[in-house]
């Protein structure tokens, strides 16, 4: 009996995806069957692309069925590759040329007010996510992907990192919980990921393990930042050590798993997580990185989200996660400095500059002395307001 490999999604509700079913044969060459509403327009191109990929993997005799629902080339090639690797042992990767927009690196202090989670195995959601202007886009390989689909999702995410225009959003990937997540690194590190989220982090040693694997794979020595997600009581207790680890630029908290771990229910006002969130903020700020709050799961209640953002900002968080594009603007507006904060920051910076010009070692505003950390915070406030670019 011939081996059969299958990857992808197909059905009436599926968009921008395809299902590839591959059966190796002993003879007969390549038999490619395409089922697609756009066959008249793109059929020849899709079949030619499929033949090129099969040839690349050394497959000369096979039956390939492609059930297309408007998939772009990077999706089609990912699905074919995943089907191949279910039945053929190979380390080869079929890669389309990377687009120019996805060759940039990001800085440690980049804004991370919003990060939009997208299921890693659902390509339609990634195609236009960047037009909503989140600070970061997370291609998720963990909770949103079924266990049986994780390998094919990793191949799709790899291709998305190379070929989807995210319109300036930081390219993020949430890997699986360690040790499984180390295998995800093989597919994403060499392909210009900006930041990797490490879920369910409880020890700094886990971050060390991730850093060591990245170093082995990162031949170009690009900046690849880490954002550990604290999701347990033990992680909260060890959060400063985790936050102080190499290449960590932000520390996030995941409240769904955290509240389950301490055997309580998550509420809108967040009383049950006040200690944990405060600890994350203090650990992150002490380590000189950004504290990032959890997602708000009710995508229909904008007022509740607005209230939650206000609390989050008051606790000292820099930003939070989101699971729907409509949440992005509310988050950005909520974390933006108020007019009073901006005016105060301007006054502090002006007083500092005036004292500096006069050669004075002491800076004061009215009757209050201004310490360097206060000036630094004022400069950050103006930068976030757009007044000190």
Query: What confidence tens digit (pLDDT) does each residue in 118-177 have?
Result: 999 999 999 999 999 999 999 999 999 999 999 999 999 999 999 999 999 999 999 999
- The neighbouring-strand residues paired with 229 are 252
The verdict on 19 and 76 lying in the same domain is yes
- Tell me which residue range forms the domain holding 20: 4-87
Q: Tell me, yes or no, whether 116 and 39 share the same domain.
A: no
Same domain, 220 and 346: no
Can you tell me the distance from the alpha carbon of 112 to that of 106, in angstroms, rounded to the nearest whole number? 11
93 in a structural domain? no
Radius of gyration of the chain (CA): 24
The count of domains in the chain is 3
With a cut of 60, say whether residue 42 has pLDDT above it: yes
Cβ burial of 229 (10 Å; 0-12, 13-18, 19+) is buried
Other CB atoms within 10 A of residue 247 CB: 17
For 316, phi and psi rounded to 5 degrees?
110, 10
Q: Does residue 92 lie in a domain region?
A: no
Last residue of a domain, one of 45, 60, 87: 87
Whether residue 349 is predicted with pLDDT greater than 80 in this model: the reply is yes
Q: 131 and 190 share a domain?
A: yes
Which of 316, 335, 354 is where one domain is finished?
335
pLDDT value at residue 362: 65
Q: Is residue 32 included in any domain, yes or no?
A: yes
Of 46, 61, 87, the position where a domain reaches its end is 87
Do 212 and 66 belong together in one domain?
A: no
By the 8 A CB rule, do 348 and 372 touch?
Answer: no
Pair (301, 373) in one structural domain: no
Helix (H) or strand (E) holding 226: strand 225-230
Q: Quick one: pLDDT at residue 1?
A: 55
What torsion, rounded to 10 degrees, do the Cα atoms 271, 276, 278, 279 define?
160
**Alpha-carbon distance values, 73 to 28, 237, 378 (Å):** 26, 46, 47
The CATH number that applies at residue 155 is: 3.20.20.60
Contact 65, 20 (CB under 8 A): yes
Question: 323 with 344, same domain?
Answer: no
Helix (H, G, I), strand (E, B) or coil at 40: helix
Same domain, 376 and 274: no
Q: How far is Cα 130 from Cα 160, in angstroms, rounded to an integer?
A: 12
Q: Are residues 330 and 347 in the same domain?
A: no
Length of the chain equals 389
- 148 and 34, same domain (yes or no): no
């Amino acid at each position: 009996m011939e081996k059969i490999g299958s990857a992808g999604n197909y059905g009436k509700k599926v968009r921008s995806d395809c299902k590839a079913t591959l059966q190796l044969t002993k003879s007969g060459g390549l038999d490619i069957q395409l089922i697609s509403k756009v066959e008249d327009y793109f059929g020849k191109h899709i079949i030619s692309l499929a033949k090129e990929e099969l040839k690349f993997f050394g497959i000369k005799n096979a039956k390939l069925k492609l059930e297309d629902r408007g998939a772009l080339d990077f999706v089609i090639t990912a699905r074919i590759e995943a089907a191949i690797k279910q039945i053929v042992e190979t380390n080869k990767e079929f890669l389309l040329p990377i687009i120019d927009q996805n060759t940039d690196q990001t800085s440690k202090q980049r804004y991370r007010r919003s990060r939009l989670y997208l299921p890693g195995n659902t390509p339609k959601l990634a195609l236009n996510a960047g037009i909503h202007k989140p600070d970061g886009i997370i291609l998720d390989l963990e909770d949103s992907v079924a266990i049986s689909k994780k390998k094919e999702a990793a191949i799709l995410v790899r291709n998305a990192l190379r070929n989807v225009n995210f319109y300036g959003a930081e390219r993020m990937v949430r890997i699986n919980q360690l040790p499984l997540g180390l295998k995800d690194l093989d597919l994403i590190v060499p392909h210009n990921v900006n930041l990797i989220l490490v879920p369910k982090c409880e020890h700094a040693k886990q971050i060390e393990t991730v850093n060591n694997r990245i170093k082995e794979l990162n031949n170009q020595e690009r900046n690849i930042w880490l954002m550990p997600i604290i999701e347990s009581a033990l992680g909260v207790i060890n959060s400063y050590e985790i936050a102080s680890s190499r290449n960590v630029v932000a520390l996030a908290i995941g409240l769904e798993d955290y509240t389950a771990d301490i055997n309580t229910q998550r509420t809108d006002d967040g009383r049950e997580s006040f200690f944990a969130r405060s600890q994350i903020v203090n650990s992150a700020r002490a380590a000189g990185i950004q504290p990032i709050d959890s997602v708000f799961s009710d995508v229909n209640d904008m007022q509740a989200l607005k209230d939650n953002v206000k609390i989050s900002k008051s606790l000292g968080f820099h930003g939070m996660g989101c699971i729907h594009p409509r949440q992005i603007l509310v988050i950005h507006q909520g974390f933006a400095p108020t007019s009073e904060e901006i005016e105060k920051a301007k006054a502090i910076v002006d007083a500092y500059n005036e004292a500096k010009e006069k050669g004075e070692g002491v800076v004061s505003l009215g009757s209050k002395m201004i310490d360097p950390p206060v000036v630094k915070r004022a400069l950050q406030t103006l930068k976030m307001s757009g007044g000190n670019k």
